[in-house]
Structure 1
Amino acid sequence: GPPGTGKTTVALALMKQFFGTEWRNRVKEMNASDERGIGAVREKVKTFAQLAVGRGGAGGGSKANFRVIILDEADSMTHDAQAALRRIMEEFVQVTRFIIICNYVSKIIGPLHSRCSKFRFQPVGGDFQKKRLLHICEQERVKVGPNAIDKLIHLSDGDMRCAVNMLQTAVTFYDEVSADALVEVACAVPEREIASLLQRTKESKSVDDVAAAVRAFLLDGYSGQQALPRVLEAIAGEPSLPDLAKAKCAGLFSLTEERLTSGCDEELQLLHLFSQLRPLLQQRVR
């Protein structure tokens, strides 16, 4: 599931409930993005996995005779490391269980898929976020302006961790947390800038005009990757644009998002995206 939806929190809560007070003796948590190579799997994971649990367990009220390894951000592991992990899971299945946490399940190799039960986490719902954020504000005595919580939910886009971090940052700089303060803290792209970029792309007569608009947008300090979903949302809501053109636009955004996530150059990818969008945006419903 996506970041900030409670995957690691649920895993740790489950371990505490299952193993009781001695859960730390039975659980090893690893961030696979830091230790993602085959060496870490062989040295740390295998060493912990092969430790047997005594008949009396490790206390805490649990009778389970196995340990648990939590691998966070496992989609960052190399394919060789994942292949080594598969062999370890087979070899020590009697004494060790694995919880594999990832954002992109497509980056986990097939043999690991077949050995696991999958639990998909959706973005945190707005109602739950609002209830929890209001509780935090009440406990921490945070002054919140009108519509600030709704703006925070919109900016976090279902990421609870992001919402709490933005709220904490806003409290550091402002006596009262307002919607404008949250927009500034989040470094969100203003609606007028999104509209301006789209309008300049529509009115451009050549790729050079598109390049000038994109470069001006980036020189103002806005994040291209952060702007992508907002631009796509604006295009999807444009009544004068044909549905087929909107579908083609969505495909272009998907490709650009994948490339940016993989670490490609932001300016180059945005130039390519808006150059491809120009003829599509200039179409009209007949």
Structure 2
Amino acid sequence: MAGEAAVNRNQIRGSLLQQMVEPMDIDNKKSRVLTWTEKYRPKTLDDIAHQDEVVTMLKGALQGRDLPHLLFYGPPGTGKTSTALAFCHQLFPKSIFHDRVLDLNASDERGISVVRQKVQAFSKTSLGSGGKEDVLKLKIIILDEVDAMTREAQSAMRRVIEDYSKTTRFILICNYVSRLIPPVVSRCAKFRFKSLPAEVQVQRLRTICDAEGAPMTDEELKQVMEYAEGDLRRAVCTLQSLSPILKSDNQDARNCYLRGSSDSQLISTVCETIPVSDVKEIIAMTKNITKSCTGVAFIRRLFQKMLDDGIINDENIAVMGKLVATCEKRILDGCDLENNLLDFLLTLRETIQ
């Protein structure tokens, strides 16, 4: 009897272990932990919004036209990486996608070794004659944030682009094209990704909110967009972080989190009172700001408000621009938020008086 019980226990354990490693269960777990930016990333070129020029060119490549090396540049969150991935997924069947496409983030590995070890090794393997007659015989290397690569790595990459152009096409992605060396830029067809209009962003955010059961008004979506500063990816991440509150009935918490660092009334008050405030009043003002706003977003919105109101003019804009950049860097580097805001407001008062 004891032997039979041991056998039964072993069978149960084996069954449980088999269930734990079932492929379907693993896939379900992966689907549950996807971030919204990945879950709602455009799957086809038709899903790409407001980038008609590059979409038209890529659709031509899908129909068999020539495909040059490409350089996508522009503000973050405008669809550069999504466009490259959507094109590759439409170009290659799923069964050969990983053999034909290499997707690297150049900011993680930006030295010359990544060019020699990964990019060059991937480019060496020939899959066919290549050429403009058959785009399917090409390999594609997507290098994201390529403006973070060192100049030596960019020079090495330029040689790889030249040597393996018969078998490989590069899609380079960056925010600042000015940080790339001219020989790399000259070998690519450049496409600038434009910032998405407000109505396009609202429509995309509305679609996500409806799919996730997190209702929001147009005014609330505009607040999220203001916080994201035109970066749709950042706006989607903000929505996901707010989703538990959006689904709750706590209106006070909802208003507090949605307002976040975009409290227009507080910014207007600071603009009106900062020129006539003394040091004690500015210290109290700083404590009040840190309770309800994040530092970098507040500084940027305050700077824009002062530009709109004419407080910052041609005489002091250079000093103010340097002040904003310095304080932002300190805060992003982890320095004390309250002390940096105090320094910012005190210097601001001296500058505009």
Query: TM bucket by the smaller chain?
Result: 0.7 to 0.9
1:13 aligns with 2:94: no
Q: CA deviation at 1:217?
A: 6.5
State whether residues 67 and 96 of structure 1, in contact with CA within 8 Å, keep that contact through their aligned partners in structure 2. yes
State whether residues 28 and 68 of structure 1, in contact with CA within 8 Å, keep that contact through their aligned partners in structure 2. yes
Deviates more, 1:228-237 or 1:19-28: 19-28
Alignment of 1:147-166 (within 5 A): 147-166=219-238
CA distance in 2, matches of 1:51, 1:231: 54
State whether residues 32 and 74 of structure 1, in contact with CA within 8 Å, keep that contact through their aligned partners in structure 2. yes
Equivalence for 2:64: none
Equivalence for 2:214: 142
Structure with larger Rg? 2
Unaligned runs of 5+ in 2: 1-73
Equivalence for 1:108: 180
Shift in alpha-carbon separation, 1:258–1:46, aligned structure 2, 3 A: farther
Sequence identity of aligned pairs in percent? 33
Shift in alpha-carbon separation, 1:128–1:189, aligned structure 2, 3 A: closer
Q: Letter of the 1:230 partner, please give it.
A: R
> Once the two structures are superposed, what CA deviation does each residue of 1:223-282 show, in whole Å capped at 9, x if it has no partner?
33222320112101225x474246446643675488569959576876775555334422
Equivalence for 2:267: 194
Equivalence for 1:233: 304
Q: CA deviation at 1:136?
A: 2.0
Shift in alpha-carbon separation, 1:83–1:233, aligned structure 2, 3 A: same
Q: Secondary structure at the match of 2:110?
A: coil
Equivalence for 1:244: 314
CA distance in 2, matches of 1:263, 1:106: 24
Alpha-carbon RMSD across the aligned residues, in angstroms, is 3.5
Q: Letter of the 1:278 partner, please give it.
A: R
CA distance in 2, matches of 1:228, 1:196: 14
CA distance in 2, matches of 1:215, 1:13: 46
Q: Secondary structure at the match of 1:98?
A: strand
Equivalence for 2:97: 23
> Once the two structures are superposed, what CA deviation does each residue of 1:122-151 show, in whole Å capped at 9, x if it has no partner?
222111111222222223332224622222
Shift in alpha-carbon separation, 1:111–1:270, aligned structure 2, 3 A: farther
Q: Secondary structure at the match of 2:171?
A: strand
Q: Secondary structure at the match of 1:143?
A: coil
Equivalence for 1:203: 276
For normalisation by structure 2, the TM-score amounts to 0.65
State whether residues 67 and 95 of structure 1, in contact with CA within 8 Å, keep that contact through their aligned partners in structure 2. yes
Equivalence for 1:40: 114
For normalisation by structure 1, the TM-score amounts to 0.78
Match of 2:167 among 95, 98, 101: 95
Equivalence for 2:241: 169
Shift in alpha-carbon separation, 1:250–1:64, aligned structure 2, 3 A: farther
State whether residues 41 and 81 of structure 1, in contact with CA within 8 Å, keep that contact through their aligned partners in structure 2. yes
